[in-house]
Amino acid sequence: MPKEEILYVDLDHDHILYARRLHMMFRDRRPETYGIISTPTDEIDR
């Protein structure tokens, strides 16, 4: 069973913006529209 953990990190906002501009593949990502393709397989009615 996975162990639950809490991570505390400092994020560099400028680096995040740089990475987002560099890797445009995540720019229009909308996970709320993924529906069944993001549902764990044990939760899908077969």
pLDDT tens per residue, range 9-26: 999 999 999 988 888 877
Between the alpha carbon of residue 39 and those of residues 2, 28, 30, the distances in Å are 19, 20, 15
Whether residue 44 contacts residue 36, with contact meaning beta carbons closer than 8 Å, is answered with: yes
pLDDT at 5: 94
Which pTM was predicted? 0.42
Type of residue found at 46: R
Query: pLDDT: is 40 or 15 the higher one?
Result: 15
